[in-house]
Amino acid sequence: MSETSAASAAELRAALVRALREARRITSPQVTEAFAAVPRHVFLPGTGLEDAYRDDAVFTKRAADGRPLSSVSAPWLVATMLERLAPRAGDRVLEVGSGGYNAALLRHVVGSTGSVTSMDIDPDVTGRAEVCLKQAGFSDVRLVTGDGTTGVPDGFPYDRLVVTVQATEIASAWLDQLTGDGRMVVPMRLRGLGRLLTFTRERAGLWRGDGWEQCGFVAMQGPGARDPVATAVLADGVRLRWDGGAAPDPVRLATAFRAEGREVWSGVTVTATEGSRAVLDLWLATTLDAFGRLHTSSSAVPQVLPGGTPATWGPDTLAYLVMRPVHGDATRFEYGVAWHGSDAGVAEAVAEQLRAWDRDHRGGPGPVLYIGAASDDEATCVRRMSERSGPRLVLAWPRSAACSGPRL
């Protein structure tokens, strides 16, 4: 690299660190120093310097059908995960899902008395990461090729474990390989919602996860792979997506959707900057048995909310979350429910849950995702999230007023 481009890489890196600090994605001195020191462009050969220091993911491998298989994750997300993981000097860290960049940042934070093991199911990825890590001066990161759901038994216990691929379950091996006061950060798909969870051990046999930042990741491959989120096309440019729970009948819902839409308003108003959706969507995913998200091009159904609006259904009725401005107050919006079909009760049930969230949980600590058995003492409103092989996952809302949602 020429002297000029080395200088501009350093300037671009410094600008990225400033932006991440201003956005409060980086908050600690350790993570600041690591981001300032590790040259991201070295992990992205063939990508221009400007793009290497843009706050975006760069896809490094795709399947034949175009699906992304591997990437160097977006700096804002890498920074958020590092801050949540809170690695300390001297820690042993296991990263599931490699790329090299995050492993180098981790290596910088844990220092010469710590260690970093980075594993990936794809030998192309570990091979590439090894070359880039060496080039960036981090040749002592241990790279392992294999399925991440087994962890890396040779080398445990780990003080910190970070998963950088989307999981739908928690592998028992991850819990078994962590120290008693270990910490684990996992991007999860829960009823189709992508959320970042930070887990700590509450007591023997019970782990507690929270955080809930919205995030997307490439899907897990190998034995931990799960069906993609199911999709049905209801009309031109209108898709309903759901992930477990009561499945819709797409043909009947498409017919319902052609009927004229009606609306029910909840009386619950929020400010545009309150950021209520991240938690509200989780509340609806907990309390509605039929839960999915409606995605549209804005011209198809203009009132559908960005990023996919929470939706529910009955046999012949589709209902979904909408907002309208509050008359005379440009800063506030009211939540409501648009519905098509024959059963007004489907929309009323959503409106009732909007009011329950407003009354019992708005502005509160939010839910906890327990791994293991959460008892009724710890929560009133719960939903079991994993039906498959791994440890039991229970999404639980703190005890407050009576909860009209399902119980264990």
Ligand X SMILES: C[S@@+](CC[C@H](N)C(=O)[O-])C[C@H]1O[C@@H](n2cnc3c(N)ncnc32)[C@H](O)[C@@H]1O
Contact residues for ligand X (CB under 6 A)?
A: 69-73, 96-102, 119-122, 125, 147-149, 164-165, 217-218, 220-222, 224
Q: Would you say 74 or 254 has its CB closer to ligand X? A: 74
In the complex, least distance from residue 156 CB atom to ligand X, rounded to whole angstroms:
16
Return phi, psi of residue 302, to 5°.
-60, -30
Residue 195, phi then psi, degrees to nearest 5: -140, 145
Q: Tokens representing 61?
A: 């491998």
The smaller minimum CB distance to ligand X, of residues 194 and 245, is found at 194
Smallest gap from Cβ 25 to ligand X, in A, equals: 15
**Two structure tokens written together for 175:** 């819990």
Q: Which is nearer to ligand X, 127 or 250 (CB)?
A: 127
Minimum distance from CB of 106 to ligand X (Å)? 9
- Min dist. Cβ of residue 123 to ligand X (A): 10
- Cβ closer to ligand X: 59 or 265? 59
Q: How far apart are CA 91 and CA 276, in angstroms?
A: 36
Distance between CA atoms of residues 133 and 38, nearest Å: 10
Please, what is the Cα angle at 86 between 370 and 276, to 5 degrees? 55
Decide: 42 and 135 in contact? Cβ < 8 Å.
yes
Q: Which residues are catalytic?
A: 73
Closest approach of ligand X to the CB of residue 253, in Å: 33
What is the per-residue burial (b if ≥16 Cβ within 10 Å, else e) of 302-332?
A: ebbbeebbbbbbbebbbbbbbbeeeeeeeee
62, 69 in Cβ contact below 8 A? Answer: yes
Compare residues 195 and 201 and give the one whose CB is closer to ligand X. 195
The residue among 165 and 321 lying less far from ligand X, judged by its C-beta, is: 165
129 Cβ neighbours under 8 A, 6+ residues apart: 43, 98, 99, 100, 103, 118, 120, 141, 143
Q: How far is the CB of 389 from ligand X (least distance, A)?
A: 14
Return the number of the residue (30 or 168) whose C-beta is nearest ligand X: 168
| Least distance from ligand X to the Cβ atom of residue 208, Å | 24
What is the four-CA torsion angle of 46, 52, 55, 57, rounded to 10 degrees?
Answer: 30
Separation of alpha carbons 80 and 83, rounded Å? 5
